[in-house]
Structure formats: C-alpha cells, structure tokens
Structure 1
Amino acid sequence: MIAGAIIQGTAQGINAFMGGRVMMGFGNSLAQIASPMLLTEIAHPQHRGRLTAVYNCLWNVGAIIVSWLSFGTNYIHNDWSWRIPAILQALPSVIQIIFIWWIPESPRYLVAKDKSDQALSILARYHANGNAQHPTVQFEYREIRETIKLEMESQANSSYLDFFRTKGNRYRLVVLLSLGLFSQWSGNAIISNFASTLYDQAGVTDSNSKFGLSGGQMILSLIVSVTMATLVDRWGRRPMFLASTGGMFGVFIFWTLCAGLYGEHGSPGANYAMIFFIWLFSFFYSFAWSGLLVGYAIEILPYKLRAKGLMVLNIMIQAALCLNVYANPVAFEAFGLKHSWKLYVIYTCWIFCELAFVYFMYVETKGPTLEELAKVIDGDEAAVARLNLEQVEKEVAIETHDVPQKV
C-alpha cells in the first residue's frame, strides 16, 4: 500500500496512476483479511464481539478524514490538489508497519505451528496479566490446542472445496456470500456512490451544501456504528441484524413514496423528507451491517477455514461493488430523475428478501468462544474440544496447590 500510494502521488500519467491503484488494492485486500482475524484471535472472549465490531466501524473515520482532506485540497489550483491525498494514503500503512513489531501473534496460529508455549505466554499476558495458571487462560489454551489438533487430524490441509464437504460448511458458505452481497446491495451503495445525484433529486444542487450533507451523514454513521458495536454483546448479533435490515426496509418504503410524490407531482416538502430518509437509512445500516459484517463472518468460521472464508467474503463484496458501479448509473439513466422511485421499488423488494433470509438463516453467536461456536453450526459433528470449565478450574487448583513439606 505504501508503494501504491507513492506511485499514485508521483504519477505523470494515467497508466502509472492506475498501476498504483492496483497495487494499493492488492495490499488493502491482504490487510482486510489479516487485520480482523488477528484482532479476533487475540481478543479476550469477553471483549471479542465489541472489538471486532468496532474495528469495521472505523472505516468511517477514514472516510471522514479523506472527505475533508479532499475538500481542502480542492482549493489548490494545481496537481497537488490530487497528489496530496494520493500520497497521504501511505500514512496509515507507515504507522502500522512501525507498530506491528509490538503486536502479538495469534495464539491459534502459534498452536497450529507447534509453538504452544508461546501461545500460552501470549494468552497469559493479555488475558490474565501474565498468570499462565489462570483458569480462563488454561481453558482457552486447552480448547484451542485440542480443537486445532482435531481439525488437523480430520484433514491435514484445507482447501476451498471444504466449504462443500459438510452441511455446516455449506451453511457457512451461503451466509458468507449473503453477508458480502447484502452489505453492498441494500441501497447503501446508492448513497455512497451517487449522493450527488440523490441530492439533485431532492432539489439540493449547491456543491457545498451537498458536501455538508454527505459529511454530516458520515459522522452520523460513525457515531451510530461505534455505539451499536459496543452493545453487540448485550443485544446479540441476530436481533441487531434483524433490527437493522427491518429498519432499512421500512425506510425504503417511505423514501420511495417521497421520491414518487416529488418526482411525479412536485409535492412540497417531499424533497426534504427524502433527505431525512437518506440519513435515517444510514442510521439503520450502521446499526448492524457496518460493525457485524466482518466480525460475524469470523465467528462462524473454524480456524482452518477462517482466512479462506474472509477471502470469499471480500471477493463477494468486491463483485457486488463492481455490479453496483456499472448497474446503478444505467438504472438512473433509464428511469430518469423524476421516475427514480421505480429503482427504489426494486431495492425495497430486495431488502424484504434480505430480511427474510436473515430471519431464517442467521444464528446467534453471542457468548461461546470461537472454538465452541462450531457446535452452534455443526452440532454433534463439530471438530471441537469437549472441555468443561469447572473441571479445568479443579485441575488448575490441584496443579497450583502448595503441598506442605513434612518435617
């Protein structure tokens, strides 16, 4: 990503600039897979849900910074108006490459590579202030070790074909594909990519007013998504997905009505109502989809399929984004600004299908450890250690008990 940013910022032609974009996209794809996996696997079980949910919400921070930076450099009347934002894309990666040396390795990765002592040390340091004999640490360590051992025994090497070999893995694949598709096809891409067109439809044509509305909407999304992410372990994943998707469905009904009233009849006030529903849609989308998209995907995947599953998710996201970029402009042109409500009818029906799918297919993942979550999906066939926390506590107490010496 650093190299890609430098190439973009110093490009003397469109070909070099596009080459830098490709390099940036390649590096970003790797980061999107590695970062949430590492965060999830080193997080304390009590904090896992909140941390992974907050992680994906922070994309809004980057979006806000880039928006205001680009707004400021827009007043520079030379090439530096675009070179500065392009070069500054390297800054987060520079910060990351400096501090990565202080980030611990995943205990699950270390166990899989026969470095169990290092794994136990990391669990003890970050989950029990260095106490390797703490019952929680011992339970996590033994469960990770036994579960990975079972996974390795069942199949030495994993492949993408594993997603088709068991009922549980087929379910995981379907949910992963739905996460990637729904996260981009719920109408949010219209707001992200065609905000200017939407505000034109609502009668807002001034560029500064559009920028202010878009900037305020991103700030709202950040506040809502982070707030909801901190409540994910209290409310649960499934209720939040249902509330978010149901809210988007309801908003699109009224958004479509207002677009029709203003476009077809010029009804006074309908244009301002459209702006309100655009913001309200962002509220409901941020309620769950911003934070739970990656976190939920990681939770339903076993260790051996975790990286491959995230790759499937990201491929689906990018495919959906590509289709949005090419299909929505065609739809807007075909229907015209006055009849854009017809496009919104399609989205309304689609979001209803999403709501039904979420209701029948998304299971609750709140509570269990990453290893225990396999039981939720695979049932008795789950390749997971069968440990009892109370038994582990007794064994740890016996091992750490000081036996008085005989005199």
Structure 2
Amino acid sequence: MGAGAVVAGVSDSGFAHVIDPNKTWYNNRRLFNLTILTCLLLITSSTNGYDGSVMNAFQSVDQWKEYFGHPEGSRLGLLNAIQNIGNLCAYPFAPYLSDGLGRKSAILIGAVIMCGGTALQTASTSIGMFIAARFMIGFGLTFAQNSAPLLVTEIAYPTYRAPLTSAYNSLWYIGSIIAAWTTFGTFKIANNWSWRIPSVLQALPSVLQIMFIWFVPESPRFLISKGKDEEALKVLAHYHADGNLDDPLVRYEYEEIKAALDFDQKVAGNVGWKALWTTPGNRRRMRIIIALAFFSQWSGNGLVSYYLNAVFDSIGITDPTTQLLINGILQIWNQFWALGAGLLVNRIGRRTLFLWSTIGMFLFFTVQTICSARFAIEGNDAAAHAVVAFIFLFYAAYDIAYSPLIVSYTVEILPFHLRAKGLTIFNFTVSCALIFNQYVNPVALKAIAWKYYLVYVCWIAFEIAFIYRYVIETKGKSLEETAALFDGEDAEIHIADAAQRQAEGVIGKTPLNDAEKQSSQHSINMIETVPKL
C-alpha cells in the first residue's frame, strides 16, 4: 500500500453529480431536522470527555482527595483506569447490539446504564462505590460510543457526512469544558458537594438521548441488511430528497448500499470477526485502525488528559485555583481547534491533516521536554511558563487530526458488516492504551519526572513515519466507494456494476433521464480510475 495513493476530490465523487448544490442544512427543513437530530448523537462523545476532565479536576479538589484518602500511585491509576476496564468488559457485546438490535437501541441501552452509573457516583460514600460507579459508566459508554458514530455516518447527507462524523470525537471537549468549569466553580464549596455536583452533571448527555432518541431515524444500511428495503428507501427519501423516492441521489445511494452489502456478504465474506483479518483489504484497514488508536493515546496527550496536576506540580505550579483555571482554558482552546479542523476535512483531506498534526506534536512536545528539563535542572521560572505555552501548542497540533479524524476515518474505511466490529477493535485498542497509560504515567512521572517525556518524543517520531507510509486519502468518497481503495478490483467491478444498473434505470418506478444516466456513468468512470494499493 503506497504512501502517496490519492483519490479524486469532492467534485469528482460518485454522488456529486446527483446532489442539488443549492440544498444546505439551513435552507431545507428536513435536512435541518436531520442535522439537529445528528447533534443528539454527537454528544455521546461529550460524556467521555466529561469523565476524563472531571477526574483530572478532582485531583485538584481538596474535599475529594480527603474524602477518598488522598489516592496516589497505583490506587489513583485504578480510579482513572476503571472506566476503561468497564469499556473492555462491554466490548464483546457492543457490536452484536449495534448490528442485531440496531444503532438506536444500542445507544438507548448505553445511555440508561450511564445514568445509573452517574447516580451511583454522585451518591458514593466509599472509594469502592466510586470505583463501581465508574466501571458502570464505562460499561454503558461502550454501547453508546460503538453505535453513535456509525449512525451519524450512515444517516448524514453525503456532503455533510465527513464534517459531522469528524465533529463526533471533537465534541469530546464539550464535555471536558463543562467538567473543567463546573469543577472550577464548585471546588471552593466547603463540603462534599464540591465533587458531587460535577458528578451528577455527567448524566446530562445521556438524559437528553433517552428523551429524544425516539425521533432519530434508523440507519438505512442497517434496515437494508435486515431486509427492510422499503423502510430504508423512505428514510433516504424523507431526509435527503424531501420525500421523493425517485430522486437521483436517493436512487444512487440505495443501489450503491445494496451492491456494497451484497459484495460484503457474497463476494468478500465480510460478516464475522474472522473477516477482519482474512482479506488483504481488511488487513490494511486493521493495520491503520489499530495504529491510529494507539497513536491517539500514546502521543504524550495522556499526561495532560489525566495527570495535568502532576505535570504542573513538576514545574512548580501547585496552586489548585491556577491548575483548574489553566485546565478550563485548555479545554476551550482544544474545542476551537478540533471543530475548526473537522469543518475543513473535506477541503484539506485526511492524510494531510494527519501528517500536519503528527509533525506538529513532535516539534512542540520536543520543546516542552527541553523546557521541563531546564526548570528541573536550573529552576528557571521562564522555562516553567514556556511549558504551559507549549502544552497549548501541542494540543493545537493534536486537535487538527487526532480529535476529529480518528473515529470518522475508522468508520468510513470499514464496510458495513464490519463497521461495528471494526469500531469495537478501535475502541478496545484505545482502552488498552489508556489503561496502560493510566497505570504507568503516574508511576513514571513520580520516578523520573521530565525524563519520561523522552519516551514520547521517540514514539511520535515513529508515528510520523507510519502516517506517511500507510495512511491514504479518502476525501470525496462515499462510504461504499471507499471499498475500492482497500478491496481492489472485485469491489470496483461490483460497485461499478451497481452504478451501471442504476444508469439503465433498474431501480425506481420510472426510467432515469439522460442527465441521471450521465451522472451514474460518471460514477462508473470514477471507480475505474481509482489507484490500486
């Protein structure tokens, strides 16, 4: 798989010629409604962001530390890691709920479990209850975060699919911002409500999803996979074409989904866990997905995400008010860069953003390491202030790719029948990386301080080489067209055959007109020119 494989831009995609260029989310009522409903799914990531930030903030709250006996070392690592252990325990079941019961049902089940977990955390009277609550939150989060991004990418209007799916992981910071500033506002309360109030607010995204998930459409791809073709066609027509079943875009999407599902089941056998590794195309996918999962947690960001107070202590910033204030500002900074990059993903491209991001992280983390060393050796206050500045610059670099793209890139390169399972592998890998970090980071920071940063400097250098060698561009492709990038000629022929059938007027009640046939022929030509891996 060559490093330089590039596909056609948005204007060359198979669906570009069947889309009304004047239709936008703000001037079309049904598209506007779909966008609002999609936002309900995006906030799933906010629950995860809230958890990471609130645990970071609790370590600067004296009332929380005193109530739970000043946890440190491996015990503090367990408090942070237990949520991810809960994730791990749910992973074997998550794809079966998503593929069996549907995306919506899995999200609902996860939201209910998370509400129970936050109630238990708020009412905790012992560290055992607190640990059990965080395990429960992690267990429920797995079901929701395994299905929400899938449903977003499978119901989105084609031109908005990439920005919306990229916004999913970017909204991690919305939860983080709320947690950071809530804790900053409550940490001076002279009782246990200083940490119980932030705990109860963690349920807010899940409560909203329980209330409004009933209004979200089910994935047309899921419906077609269950033989509910007519219902899927109606969903596509209602939200993408104002109810017109014969709209060229609806015809294109419907036939392409049918062809891709047929290819997965009958040609490629992409239906079980084993299929993730049995074909060259799927092995390429898994190599990228697993690598990006590790990179998203092992790039030095884990030090700040869960142990910011320890980093600050190492450079002489020990005042809790200052620590919490910087944490709150950092989350707003992160949200700005993550969402901004997510909106530009269709213009700049995935591969370019990954390269810029990783090179930027390497440069800024290297300088941060140098400044931390100078403070430790010389006690230079200017070096300490520089560390804070380079933490902000490091996160700006991280946020332009690893916040918006790791989930959206994962789901778009996976075929439908492997999408839930592949995302489960991604999330499982993230959890393993997090658990390792959450146990190792506090111990390593305490033992060797700034010298531990050198490990991440070397690792990020490896990441640059991997991204350059293996990550390919998918800009301008529909979910089904991306298969041609990984599965080779068989996928190209099968999808091109579907486009040909559409061009001949096979689906729908009336034949296609000349313009619609020309559009479908364009998609055939586009598929035939996709570069081979």
Q: Secondary structure at the match of 1:183?
A: helix
Matching of residues 67-146 of structure 1 within 5 Å: 67-146=180-259
Match of 2:158 in 1: 45
Match of 1:363 in 2: 472
Q: Secondary structure at the match of 1:64?
A: helix
Matching of residues 280-359 of structure 1 within 5 Å: 280-336=393-449, 340=450, 342-359=451-468
Whole-Å separation in 2 of the counterparts to 1:327 and 1:389: 52
Kept in 2: contact 1:225–1:290 (CA 8 A): yes
Match of 1:380 in 2: 489
The alignment-based identity, stated in percent, is 42
Q: How many residues align?
A: 397
Per mean C-alpha deviation after superposition, the further-off stretch among 354-363 and 5-14 is 5-14
Q: CA-to-partner distance for each residue in 1:122-144, whole Å, 9 max, x for gaps?
A: 11111112222111110110010
1:32 is matched with which residue: 145, 150, 157?
A: 145
| Inter-CA distance 157–191: structure 2 relative to 1 (3 Å threshold) | closer
Q: CA-to-partner distance for each residue in 1:303-349, whole Å, 9 max, x for gaps?
A: 1110001110111111101111111122222214xxx1x22222111
Whole-Å separation in 2 of the counterparts to 1:119 and 1:344: 51
2:359 is matched with which residue: 214, 224, 246?
A: 246
Q: CA-to-partner distance for each residue in 1:208-267, whole Å, 9 max, x for gaps?
A: 111111111110000010011000000000000000001001112211222222222334
- The code of the aligned residue for 1:188 comes to N
- The code of the aligned residue for 1:172 comes to R
Structure 2 unpaired stretches of 5+: 1-113, 514-533
Offset, 1:167: 0.9
Q: Secondary structure at the match of 1:288?
A: coil
- The code of the aligned residue for 2:495 comes to A
Q: Secondary structure at the match of 2:246?
A: coil
Q: Secondary structure at the match of 2:189?
A: coil
| Inter-CA distance 19–272: structure 2 relative to 1 (3 Å threshold) | closer
Offset, 1:394: 6.6
1:182 is matched with which residue: 284, 295, 298?
A: 295
Match of 1:404 in 2: none
Structure 1 unpaired stretches of 5+: 402-407
Whole-Å separation in 1 of the counterparts to 2:200 and 2:417: 37
Offset, 1:398: 5.6
RMSD: 2.0
Per mean C-alpha deviation after superposition, the further-off stretch among 169-178 and 240-249 is 169-178
| Inter-CA distance 210–220: structure 2 relative to 1 (3 Å threshold) | same
TM-score by length of 1: 0.92
Offset, 1:388: 7.1
Offset, 1:156: 6.9
Whole-Å separation in 1 of the counterparts to 2:214 and 2:509: 35
Kept in 2: contact 1:144–1:371 (CA 8 A): yes
Match of 1:161 in 2: 274
Q: Secondary structure at the match of 1:385?
A: helix
1:220 is matched with which residue: 333, 352, 370?
A: 333
Q: CA-to-partner distance for each residue in 1:242-297, whole Å, 9 max, x for gaps?
A: 00001001112211222222222334522222111111001000111000010000
Offset, 1:114: 0.6
Kept in 2: contact 1:135–1:393 (CA 8 A): no
TM-score by length of 2: 0.71
| Inter-CA distance 203–37: structure 2 relative to 1 (3 Å threshold) | same
Match of 1:173 in 2: 286
